[in-house]
Chains A and B, each alone.
Chain A
Amino acid sequence: MSYENGKIPVLHEVDLEVQRGSLVAICGPSGCGKSTLLHLIAGLDQPTRGQVLHDGQSLHRDRDLTLLLRSRIGLVFQLHNLIADLTLTENCLIPAIAAGLPKGEARLRLARLTTATGLQHRLGNRIQDLSGGERQRTALCRALMNDPQLILADEPTGALDEDSREQVFALLVDLVRSAGRTLIMATHDRSLADRCDRVVEMKDGRILS
């Protein structure tokens, strides 16, 4: 597929197939199109040419894309994209509201995820009261709330110090592997990429390998 932002070409003839249950790192310099590729996979943007297939199915209708984001994809961003005015619990419950998950079930999942990420003591804290690592772990909890099969992570450790980066990445890998999920992660960090099943190199909007 290809993608142009206005008249500016961003991705050229990109062809990528990802196996279910694999961990894929997309590496490359800034501006090479890593984030755009993730947005296209998530259905947040539409390719100018070509298509994105999820389990062999193309998604065109808005309703299909909503369902995809609601139940099959979890997104993690570099700057976490949490809602600052809400607490950790409230942020994590947003996907559950979107999916109409029963309150009890949502609370159960929240408890399981926050325990797994070591955030159980921060449930009532507002986002601005959390450290960078805690915020990113919160974003991870939110992304996994509706138990998606595919996690798309855009520089998930890019804004963290070394200790937090290790902690968050280990947690991400653990949560993905333990449930047989698929991870596609855009990263600059070669040491993290090397710990994935596959590394996709990008440059100037093309996949090199």
Chain B
Amino acid sequence: MSLLGLILLNLRCHAIRTTIGAVGISFGVATMLCVVTLLGGAIRMFERILSSDSELIVFERNVSDLFFSNVPVETVAEFEDLPFVQNAEAVLFGIVSSENNPVITCFGVGPEAARLRDAEWLQGASDRFTNDSERVLLGERAAAFLKVGAGERVPIGRAEFEVAGVIRTANGFEDGGVFMPLPLAQRFFRKEGVASVVMVKLREENQRRQFKDYVQTNHENLTALENEEFSQNYSQFRILKITAWVVGGCAFLLGGLSVANTMIMAVFGRIRELAILRVCGFSRWQIAGLIVGESIVVALLGAVVGILLSRLALGLLKSLPFLQGYVEVHLEPSMIGVVVFLAVLTGMLGALYPAIYGMRIRAANALRFE
């Protein structure tokens, strides 16, 4: 039997204590993974909306939210005239409401938009969605909660539009959204002549710098960012990511306190046992190693259970009809790595005080009153 064997044996002998400690950590891990995965999934979904068949996003400089961005539509033609641009596409984002749904995302797009080209048409036909039409397209989920189909009329805000078709996309935001022809969206949101963003696809990937320099030189109110840069710099994404990690971190902290509490109780309840180990030749560091080792194993056990719990919880959330398309069950290996690392760290920190206490136990005193 080795020190690790003794650690596992002690944990098995005190199964309830081990379970309580591991459950504390597992809830922390599960909460962190769920929150980070859900928000990460939402961010990725939004990123996919922006990066649909494009490499660069042009938007108004220094806006806190893309809904407030105004990019002149003439820039689309201007960018497409550049030799290194393959195509440019204007998109106007807006929030619309219907009777029972106060928030529906609206996309003002051209009929040739990549996101429509890649979608599956469930009802209607693409030729009814034209720039000069007054018809709208609905995502599959939007059609379901608005309870309308192709050819019917749907109230949006104070107006009513004919539904040209219903499409299915892989993106929860788009699937729950309304697509308007860009000119109609501009009129509806009173944003004539502007779009929220212009998405640009280049002929060669290595011409990104060239395009960014062009925008910087010729449009002082606009900025062009690569998709990855945008994800890293967009304040809304940053806020979401930080929120996810802070909320997850707090959950983890609570789990860590549970481990610390469990280990403190474990040491206080085993003073005599630790004294026996001392008189059997255990050094103070071996005693500390035993306590820290037990704590780390409990934390790892909690991490494994927490990962399984989070998969289960995300799977359940994904199956809920109103969340379909919004939840991604895929857990990033890097995130699992971070969680396992945090679990080990939590285990070590949680065992710090108990280990120091355990090292200081005086065997003679502990055994004197046997």
Residues of A participating in the B interface, judged by any CB pair closer than 8 Å: 35, 39, 42, 44-45, 62-63, 66-67, 69-71, 75, 77-79, 81-83, 85-86, 90, 93-99, 103, 106, 142, 146
Taking a contact as CB atoms under 8 Å apart, the answer to whether A77 and B283 are in contact is no
- Specify which chain B residues have a CB less than 8 angstroms from the CB of A67 in the assembled complex: 281
Task: Indicate if B273 sits at the interface (CB-CB under 8 A).
Answer: yes
Chain B hits for A96, CB < 8 A: 1
Partner of A83, one of B273, B363, B367: B273
Q: Provided the pairs A69-B280, A69-B281, A103-B1 are in contact, do residues A86 and B9 lie with their beta carbons within 8 angstroms? A: yes
| Set A62, A66, A103: member contacting B281, Cβ < 8 A | A66
Q: Which partner residue on chain A sits nearest B367 by CB separation?
A: A81
B336 within 8 A of A: no
Q: Which of B10, B281, B367, B368 contacts A95 (CB 8 A)?
A: B281
A92 to chain B, nearest CB (A): 10
B272, B273, B278, B279: residue with the most chain A Cβ atoms closer than 10 Å: B279
- Cα distance, A142 to B1, chains bound together (Å): 14
A71–B281 CB distance below 8 A:
yes
8 A Cβ contacts from B1-29 to A = 1-3, 5-6, 9-10, 13-14
What chain A residues lie within 8 Å of B272 (beta carbons)?
Answer: 81
Most buried by B among A39, A63, A79, A142: A39
Ordered by A's residue number, 27 sampled pairs between the chains whose C-beta atoms are within 8 Å are: A35-B368, A44-B279, A44-B363, A44-B367, A66-B283, A69-B279, A71-B281, A75-B279, A77-B367, A77-B370, A78-B370, A79-B370, A81-B276, A83-B273, A85-B14, A86-B9, A90-B6, A93-B1, A94-B276, A97-B3, A97-B6, A98-B277, A98-B281, A98-B282, A98-B283, A98-B286, A103-B1
Residues in B whose Cβ lies below 8 Å from that of A106: 1
B318 contacts partner chain A, Cβ-Cβ < 8 Å: no
Q: Could you tell me the distance between the alpha carbons of A66 and B5 in the complex, rounded to whole angstroms?
A: 21
Per DSSP, are chain B's interface residues mostly helix, strand or loop, or mixed?
helix
Which chain A positions have C-beta within 8 A of B367? Answer: 44, 77, 81
A86 to B286, CA, bound (A): 19
In the complex, what residues of B have CB within 8 A of residue A79's CB?
Answer: 370
Q: For this complex, into which size category does the number of interface residues on chain B fall? A: 20 to 34
Interchain CA distance A81-B277 in the complex, whole Å: 10
Q: How many A-B residue pairs have CB under 8 A?
A: 75
Contacts of A85 in B (CB 8 A): 10, 13-14
Across the interface, name the chain A residue whose C-beta is closest to B279. Answer: A75
Q: Does B312 contact A (CB under 8 A)?
A: no
* CA A45 to CA B10, docked complex, whole Å: 28
A103 vs chain B, min Cβ distance (A): 7
Contact A70 B370 (CB under 8 A): no
- Measured in the bound complex, the distance between the Cα atoms of B280 and A81 in whole Å is 11
Neighbouring B residues of A42 by C-beta, 8 Å: 279
Q: Does B364 contact A (CB under 8 A)?
A: yes
